[in-house]
Amino acid sequence: MRLLGNIVWLIFGGLLLSLGWAIVGLVLCVTIIGIPLGIQAFKMAELTLTPFGKTVVYRGGVGSTLANIVWMVLVGVWMALGYVGAGLVNCLTIIGIPFGIQSFKMAKLALWPFGADIVSL
């Protein structure tokens, strides 16, 4: 089921969205200050490419929490709201519910990415 979900996900926008995150990560990594942010964008690209069968695990400490607060204030809230909106739209149909759940997973990572690891189930 994971394979089928990931294939459908890729066809209907996951590949383009993941590519967009990868490009953002590359642009952010051009400067030394942007490297930590670029790494978080690469995490989003990884999860966005094939979200079925993966989960987000948090292992961060104080430094991650402080970085997450800055991230959340600057961009995290808006990105998370975008993913929540996409998830709600997906959940309007029964077929879209699994895709909505994946969008909610990405909203969680978009809101609080520092200290998070993406692991396969």
Q: Is 119 helix (H, G, I), strand (E, B) or coil?
A: strand
Q: Given this model, what pLDDT does residue 1 score?
A: 82
Is the CB of residue 114 less than 8 Å from the CB of residue 67?
Answer: yes
For 68-109, write each residue's pLDDT tens digit.
Answer: 999 999 899 999 999 999 999 999 999 999 999 999 999 999
Q: What is the CB-side half-sphere exposure of residue 51 using CA atoms within 13 A?
A: 24
For 48-65, write each residue's pLDDT tens digit.
Answer: 999 999 999 998 889 899
Provide the whole-model pTM.
0.87
Angle at 104 between CA 53 and CA 34, to 5 degrees: 90
DSSP-assigned beta bridge partners for residue 120: 54
pLDDT tier at 15, thresholds 50, 70, 90: very high
Q: Given this model, what pLDDT does residue 113 score?
A: 94
For 26-50, write each residue's pLDDT tens digit.
Answer: 999 999 999 999 999 999 999 999 9
